[in-house]
Amino acid sequence: MWRRAERANEGRPVGEALAELAALAAGAEAEARDLGLRVEGRVLAVPGAVPNETGGRVERAPNLGWHGIDVADHWPDPDTVPEPENEANLGALAEYWNAEQAEKTFVHVSAEAGIGAALVIDGQLFRGARGFAGELGHIPVHPDGVRCACGARGCLEQYAGQAAVLREAGLARHRRQGDPVALLAERAGAGHAPTLVALDRAGRALGLALASAVDLIDPDGLVLGGAYAELAEWLLPSVRAELAERVTVRPWAPEALRPSVLGRRGPVLGAAQTTVRRIMADPTLLPAE
């Protein structure tokens, strides 16, 4: 359901995309009710900037064409409006809460519609002054490079984002069909040279951006999440090579970069657990039956 929702969203009018998501969510709620469960929270994982005091607002999501969107304005049922949260944040939190030996300070970078990243510092999500920390996808890796959806040039996303990798691998026509990530893994596994070159190039660009992050915040780990986790076998060598070359403070162990244990399930799990943990921390939030 999640992947269907993800594709449904990309590049469509916001009202239409949210109506389809609302229908999917209503189906999930009906299934939960049939199991005797009560829904106590609704979270919309968005590949975009969600302010700290969101009030239901998504500031911008360039890959969806969203700018200053109030979710409630477009959600068909006022009783089930979800609270938006950045999907990279949710993925990182899920990794921290569920990985057996989670790092305390790490950067979690994932690729879905674009590239999302989140910083967990000393076990806390670092949101930034306004909530927009972790926009790694728009760090320039080639200052005069390709124009990005954000308006700037040469952003990481244009070299290591899903669309860029598919284009480079000669698989752009598959972007909106089936599961493009599984297709990339299948082609890479079969030794398809253009796919291997595309993933190597993406890994180099990722390594370049992540090396700056390592020098900036000195994390004890880096996690490749979302779709990257499924492509880790082909990305890790070039990301590690770039890190080995560029991280200033040594030693930097290659194993400090690892694939996420949750992959594309991360944001969904993070959304559910955020709600559960909020209620556990303050049970008075739970209305009496």
Nearest distance from C-beta of residue 147 to Zn ion, angstroms:
9
CA distance linking residue 273 with residue 24, whole number of Å? 20
Least Å from the CB of residue 240 to Zn ion: 25
- Specify the stretch interacting with Zn ion by CB under 5 A; choose among 114-122, 154-162, 168-176, 192-200: 154-162
In Å, how far from its chain's centre is CA 22?
21
Buried b (16+ CB within 10 A) or exposed e, 122-160: eeebbbeeebbbbbbbbbbbeeebeebbbeeebbbbbbb
Only segment of 118-126, 140-148, 207-215, 260-268 that touches Zn ion (CB under 5 A): 140-148
Assess contact for 104 and 76: CB atoms under 8 A: no
* # chain residues binding Zn ion, by CB under 5 A: 5
By beta-carbon proximity to Zn ion, the closer residue of 150 and 196 is 150
User: In terms of Cα–Cα distance, which of 168, 106, 122, 159 is closest to 137?
Assistant: 159
Residue 51 is encoded by which pair of tokens? Answer: 């302010």
- The answer to the question of residue 148 lying near Zn ion (CB under 5 A) is yes
User: Does 24 participate in binding Zn ion (rule CB under 5 A)?
Assistant: no
Looking at 42, 138, 187, 264, which residue binds Zn ion (CB under 5 A)? 138
Smallest gap from residue 210 Cβ to Zn ion (A): 17
With contacts defined by CB under 5 A, name the span among 37-45, 142-150, 235-243, 264-272 that binds Zn ion.
Answer: 142-150
Q: How far is the CB of 194 from Zn ion (least distance, A)?
A: 24
Site mask, Zn ion, residues 81-120, x = CB under 5 A? ----------------------------------------
Sort residue 95 into left (φ over 0), alpha (ψ -120 to 50) or beta: alpha
Considering beta carbons, is residue 58 or 188 the nearer one to Zn ion?
Answer: 58
* Near Zn ion by CB under 5 A: residue from 22, 155, 211, 223: 155
Binding region for Zn ion (CB under 5 A) out of 14-22, 30-38, 152-160, 279-287: 152-160
- Encoded tokens for 115: 């590239």
Round to whole Å and give the CA distance between 106 and 85. Answer: 19
User: What is the nearest approach in angstroms of Zn ion to the Cβ of residue 93?
Assistant: 24
Which stretch of DSSP H or E encloses residue 66? strand 66-70
- Span of 32-40, 50-58, 133-141, 225-233 interacting with Zn ion by CB under 5 A: 133-141
Q: Please tell me whether residue 141 binds Zn ion under the rule CB under 5 A.
A: no
In the chain the first and final C-alpha atoms are separated, in Å, by 30
For residues 14, 182, 162, 221, the Cα torsion angle rounded to the nearest 10 degrees is 110
The binding site for Zn ion (CB under 5 A) comprises: 138, 148, 150, 152, 155
